[in-house]
Amino acid sequence: MDFLRPASWEEALAAKAEHPTAVPIAGGTDVMVEINFDHRRPEYLLDLNRIGDLSEWEVGEKTVRLGASVPYTKIMENLRAELPGLALASHTVASPQIRNRGGVGGNLGTASPAGDAHPALLASGCEVEVESVRGRRMIPIDEFYVGVKRNAMQPDELIRSVHLPKADGPQQFSKVGTRNAMVIAVCAFGIALHPETRMVRTGIGSAAPTPVRAKEAEDFLAAALDEGGFWESGAPIPPSVAKQFAQLASGACNPIDDVRGSAKYRRHAVGIMARRTLGWTWESYRGNERSAQCA
């Protein structure tokens, strides 16, 4: 094994071009587990810790450019207003020790359907900035996840940052697990209201081969809110609409039975989370903040 330690982004791209099999390591919270357990013996480890730019973020007028290695702790501490959904999701990642090291780039690189950031990323409608010596490209999050633990990146590419639209409305995240800390999601759900565009976006975690959106549920809800004039009136959402939204979200799942839960349970729980998170975000849109924020 070789340990590559590029001091700059350009050096990192050159190293990745020369050794496309090199495994990038930033927080190490996924990669080191695989190495410790002998599940993986990469020929090259590409350490990204020396590239300071990856741990920085910029809040622009419309978007936040979030460096791939910004630890979840920093997202929780600094970007709660701009990225509420992702901040809530970050709070449910493992433990303080893990949140101090892990970042969104790792979740995207690993592309596990259980990654905690994915539902919030899908709901926000972000773009992933990837780069190689051949050039830079922005991959819309909807096109990023292509299979179980597979993403749309080429072997010579590295994730530099994620560009997320600043929240223009309430966002929520919910996750089912056996306890509050240190759990991989049994399933998870993220929702973002976008009052400016009159859209609703969602993300489902751990209930399909990849993280997915509940598109039919989104379309149904957007139409129902529009037709009923709910965005203008701020009236409560009728239970029948919430129920239909939940059923459609449940229907967007394509889960499996595994040690963490059964497919049937996951479908059911996603429906429940969809209804609840819709209620929380809509109440917030109407001006009634929840007194206790919990995931």
Partner 1 sequence: MRVTFTVNGRQQEADDVWEGESLLYVLRERMGLPGSKNACEQGECGSCTVRLDGVPVCSCLVAAGQVEGREVTTVEGLADFARQRAEHGGCGTGACGTSLQDAQQWEAKPQDSQTGEGAELSPIQQAFIDAGAVQCGFCTPGLLVAADEMLERNPQPTDADIREALSGNLCRCTGYEKILDAVRLAAARQDRVQEGAV
Among 96, 140, 238, 239, contact with partner 1 (rule: CB under 8 A): 96
User: How far apart are alpha carbons 27 and 20 in whole angstroms?
Assistant: 20
Q: CA distances (Å), 175 to each of 14, 169, 180, 190, in order?
A: 39, 20, 9, 9
137 binds partner 1 (CB under 8 A): no
x/- track of binding to partner 1 for residues 180-199 (CB under 8 A): xxx-----------------
C-beta closer to partner 1: residue 46 or 123:
46
The reply on whether position 295 binds partner 1 by CB under 8 A is no
- How many angstroms separate the CA atoms of 293 and 290, rounded? 6
Q: How many CB atoms lie within 10 A of CB 202?
A: 26
Q: Please identify, among the stretches 25-33, 81-89, 211-219, 286-294, the one whose residues bind partner 1 according to the rule CB under 8 A.
A: 25-33
8 A C-beta contact, residue 194 and residue 168: yes
Check residue 101 for interaction with partner 1 (CB under 8 A). yes
Q: Between β-strands 2-4 and 23-25, what pairing exists: parallel, antiparallel or unpaired?
A: unpaired
Question: CB-wise, 37 or 135, nearer to partner 1?
Answer: 37
148 is a contact residue toward partner 1 (CB under 8 A): no
Q: Which is nearer to partner 1, 44 or 265 (CB)?
A: 44
Residues 6 or more apart from 5 whose CB is under 8 A from it?
Answer: 47, 50
Q: Which residues bind partner 1 (CB under 8 A)?
A: 1-3, 5, 25, 27-29, 31-33, 35-37, 41-42, 45, 47, 49, 94-98, 100-101, 180-182
